[in-house]
Amino acid sequence: MGTIFILGNGFDIQCGLESRYSDFFRWCGLTYPWYKQAASIDPKNEQVFDTFYRVAAEKPEFTVWDLYFLIHSERIKSDFWCDVESEISDSIKMDYWKDLLAEINYFFANHSWRNTNSEWRVKKWYCAGLLMRKYFPDDFSQAPRIYVNRSRVISKKELILVLRKELTIFEDRFALYLSSEVDRTKNEYPGKQRLMLEQLVDSTVREKPFYAFSFNYTDTLDLLEGNILLSQNVHGSLKTHPIFGISSKSNDNEDYNQFSKSNRRLENDMPVISRLVQDRDKDFHVIFYGLSLNEADYDYYKIILDSVKKNTIFFCYSNYGGVNRKQDSINSAKKMIEKVTDWDFYEQVEREKIKIVEVISPFLQDKV
């Protein structure tokens, strides 16, 4: 027997970290004046947005992904929230970058834009201009308005390498923010982790040894109830490098495989998941907590659940904000289970292989 904790950002939030995407973007607004200005400007107001764009484009911290999120994520204007990985995935699925590359190369060949309507200018002109200014300066002195009479062709490979570089810059800035949060809470965070894990055990099952797969970038305790807690950060850590990305299974565009989190784990020589749990003969109880169970991580949920033969899978949730979150937990658990296994979700509930369990946080946060 044994217990595997699968921990997501909701766990860190309950332990006192302000680690939501909205917290990060709000920090960007407080730390970088160009970001604060961007958050208050509607890109459709081209005259004003153009001024912001030209200032921000000179900043090394500003990436094409920031610009893409600001243009395409409406909620970032009101509450600073944006699902970063879903936006990255959507941009690839809808061939945004393929279309952008075609427009850039058209401009190089013809010294004019093929599309000039207002909607296109807002959605692609600014991203094209930023990439051209930062990475193809030989052809543009003040891209995309002033050009040198010289043609060239940017390859798909060149563009993808640039997009990866830009994502790394974005991740570095996120790591800088999260490190400041860990430092801010260093006197209380470890103790809250211990209390939260103990509460999870009290609400579900207590079977040793304990393991933890963390989808966070922070360190997990190494001792729980006097027993060793072996843990692994699935997507990197603040000590290595946090990675954002897409699901390899849901990605149909092989050109963008290097954006999949599975490929990036391989690139970064991260320990394989099976290495954490060495004893293949064990049956493990699995406790999910603090995860949205989104499709970007289905690959890993499947690998973990394949090790569970006859023990129980607990999907744990905490109510907050005066709202009962049980149905949300049921819906996300059902969707994931029926996608990555051949089980019928409700049948497994009746067999008590799957349980939906409320966990009352000892220090409940109002927002998650």
**Rg of the chain in Å (alpha carbons):** 23
pLDDT value of residue 78: 63
Residue 274 pLDDT grade (very low, low, confident, very high; cuts 50, 70, 90): confident
| Domain boundary pick from 117, 145, 173 | 173
The residue that leads in pLDDT, 42 or 353, is 353
Q: Which pairs count as long-range contacts for 326-335, CB under 8 Å and 24+ apart, including other chains?
A: 326/356, 326/358, 329/356, 330/356, 332/292, 332/293, 333/288, 333/293, 335/293
pLDDT value of residue 281: 58
Domain membership flag for residue 133 = yes
Is a pLDDT exceeding 60 seen at residue 365?
no
Domain with 214, as residue range(s), is 3-17+188-358
pLDDT value of residue 20: 94
**Rounded-to-integer distance, Cα 350 and Cα 346, Å:** 6
Is a pLDDT exceeding 90 seen at residue 146?
no
pLDDT in tens, 198-232: 999 999 999 999 999 999 999 999 999 889 899 99
pLDDT value of residue 144: 46
Residue 123 pLDDT grade (very low, low, confident, very high; cuts 50, 70, 90): confident
Task: Say if residue 243 is in the same domain as residue 338.
Answer: yes
Domain membership flag for residue 277 = yes
| Domain boundary pick from 121, 143, 173 | 173
Q: Across residues 124-145, what is the average pLDDT?
A: 72
pLDDT above 90 as % of the chain = 60
pLDDT in tens, 163-188: 999 999 999 999 999 999 999 999 99
Task: Say if residue 195 is in the same domain as residue 167.
Answer: no
**Rounded-to-integer distance, Cα 4 and Cα 278, Å:** 13
**Rounded-to-integer distance, Cα 103 and Cα 159, Å:** 12
Task: Say if residue 163 is in the same domain as residue 198.
Answer: no
Task: Say if residue 220 is in the same domain as residue 164.
Answer: no
Answer for the pair 299, 248: CB distance below 8 angstroms, yes or no. yes
Q: Across residues 258-274, what is the average pLDDT?
A: 91
Task: Say if residue 163 is in the same domain as residue 197.
Answer: no
Task: Say if residue 58 is in the same domain as residue 105.
Answer: yes
Task: Say if residue 143 is in the same domain as residue 33.
Answer: yes
Give every CB contact of residue 207 below 8 A, 6+ residues apart in sequence: 1, 2, 3, 285
Q: Across residues 255-269, what is the average pLDDT?
A: 93
**Rounded-to-integer distance, Cα 81 and Cα 346, Å:** 33
Q: Across residues 98-118, what is the average pLDDT?
A: 85
pLDDT value of residue 138: 53
Residue given tokens 């308005």 in the structure block: 145
Task: Say if residue 97 is in the same domain as residue 110.
Answer: yes
pLDDT value of residue 364: 64
Write down the mean pLDDT value for the chain.
87
What SS3 string covers the chain?
CCEEEEECHHHHHHCCCCCCHHHHHHHHHHHCHHHHHHHCCCCCCHHHHHHHHHHHCCCCCCCHHHHHHHHHCCHHHHCCCCCHHHHHHHHHHCCHHHHHHHHHHHHHHHCCCCCCCHHHHHHHHHHHHHHHHHHCCCCEEECCCEECCCCCCCCHHHHHHHHHHHHHHHHHHHHHHHHHHHHHCCCCHHHHHHHHHHHHHHHCCCCCCEEEEECCCCCCCCEECCEEEEEEECCCCCCCCCCCCECCCCCCCHHHHHHEHHHHHHHCCCCCHHHHCCCCCCCCEEEEECCCCCHHHHHHHHHHHCCCCCCCEEEEECCECCECCHHHHHHHHHHHHHHHCCCCHHHHHHCCCEEEEECCCCCCCCCC
| Domain boundary pick from 173, 202, 224 | 173
pLDDT value of residue 147: 47
**Rounded-to-integer distance, Cα 297 and Cα 220, Å:** 19
* pTM: predicted TM-score of the whole model, two decimal places: 0.90
Task: Please state whether beta strands 146-147 and 140-142 pair in parallel, antiparallel, or not at all (unpaired).
Answer: antiparallel
Domain membership flag for residue 365 = no
pLDDT value of residue 143: 44
